[in-house]
């Protein structure tokens, strides 16, 4: 069930989508709430300014207002229209900084995933899992390339169960309800590992290791794309993450290591 290509459950962009993808992490839920909070405030401000503007335009015409005001300067008014926006910004900074610092919180991770950006694919490694072959030990390591869906034998399935330009030959399998640490870097140029449902966008810089926390709340198939222009095939190095409950994740790892 968890390995099926069910497009309905996939967290991928939809046609004509105008809102965010469903959140799968606490930080993305925070981003969504903050966005709603901001949008509400924005609507209130737009209505107020719009009302004020139309009021001014209406009374600007001599026909509607025969006796114009004589004053050209008002200290009280200056104080009010400077301090109110400043106060609004101050009020906004509280949830904004709370969210920002909560995302930086470093907990004790149970598992680390190393992510390396290349021109033009992503490679992943989990050093916690090792297999000892005859004379060498290997870690769980794989590279993910984009699948050219147009060339796949789809049979009579319509619409296609694959997402164009988002599918990869291998998916990054991660456990849900587990504190994960992502270590992101690049081997050649700048890349950016981005998954909208996780609220994550981590720059992959060559020679630098960026660390970020991830705690996936639910299982699902999540899609993302490289978000730092990195060359001609920048649009063709997608990210596909399959989040599985811990038990299924361990089954997957055991099966994978068997193959190494």
Nearer to Cu ion, 170 or 234 (CB): 234
As a whole number of angstroms, the distance between CA 146 and CA 165 comes to 7
As a whole number of angstroms, the distance between CA 154 and CA 131 comes to 36
CB of 174 vs Cu ion, minimal distance in Å: 21
Judge whether 221 and 171 are in contact, CB under 8 Å. yes
**Is 189 in a helix, a strand, or coil?**
coil
* Contacts (Cβ under 8 Å, ≥6 apart) of 136: none
As a whole number of angstroms, the distance between CA 257 and CA 260 comes to 5
Q: Which residues sit at the interface with Cu ion, rule CB under 5 A?
A: 191, 226, 230, 234
CB of 145 vs Cu ion, minimal distance in Å: 14
CB of 166 vs Cu ion, minimal distance in Å: 14
Nearer to Cu ion, 182 or 230 (CB): 230
CB of 236 vs Cu ion, minimal distance in Å: 9
> How many CB atoms lie under 10 A from the CB of residue 24?
24
As a whole number of angstroms, the distance between CA 220 and CA 9 comes to 7
CB of 93 vs Cu ion, minimal distance in Å: 32
Nearer to Cu ion, 171 or 191 (CB): 191
Nearer to Cu ion, 226 or 243 (CB): 226
Nearer to Cu ion, 120 or 163 (CB): 120
């Amino acid at each position: 069930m968890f390995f099926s290509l069910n497009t309905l459950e996939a967290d991928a962009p939809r046609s004509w989508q105008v809102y965010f993808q469903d959140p799968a992490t606490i930080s993305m839920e925070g981003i969504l709430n903050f966005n709603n909070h901001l949008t509400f405030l924005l609507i209130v401000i737009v209505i107020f300014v719009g009302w004020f503007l139309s009021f001014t335009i209406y009374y600007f015409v001599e026909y509607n207002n025969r006796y114009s005001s004589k004053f050209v300067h008002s200290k009280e008014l200056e104080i009010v229209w400077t301090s109110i926006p400043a106060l609004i910004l101050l009020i906004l900074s509280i949830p904004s900084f709370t969210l920002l610092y909560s995302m930086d919180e470093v907990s004790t991770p149970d598992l680390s995933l190393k992510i390396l950006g290349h021109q033009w694919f992503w490679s992943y490694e989990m050093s916690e899992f090792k297999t000892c072959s005859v004379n060498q030990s290997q870690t769980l390591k794989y590279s993910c390339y984009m699948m050219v869906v147009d060339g796949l034998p789809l049979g009579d399935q319509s619409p296609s169960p694959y997402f164009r330009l988002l599918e990869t030959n291998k998916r990054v399998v991660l456990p849900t309800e587990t504190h994960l640490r992502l270590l992101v870097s690049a081997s050649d140029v700048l890349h950016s590992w981005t998954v909208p449902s996780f609220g994550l966008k981590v720059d992959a810089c060559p020679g630098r290791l960026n660390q970020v926390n991830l705690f996936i709340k639910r299982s699902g198939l999540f899609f993302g794309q490289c978000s730092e222009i990195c060359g001609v095939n920048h649009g063709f190095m997608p990210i596909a993450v399959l989040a599985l409950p811990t038990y299924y994740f361990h089954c997957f790892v055991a099966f994978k290591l068997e193959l190494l």
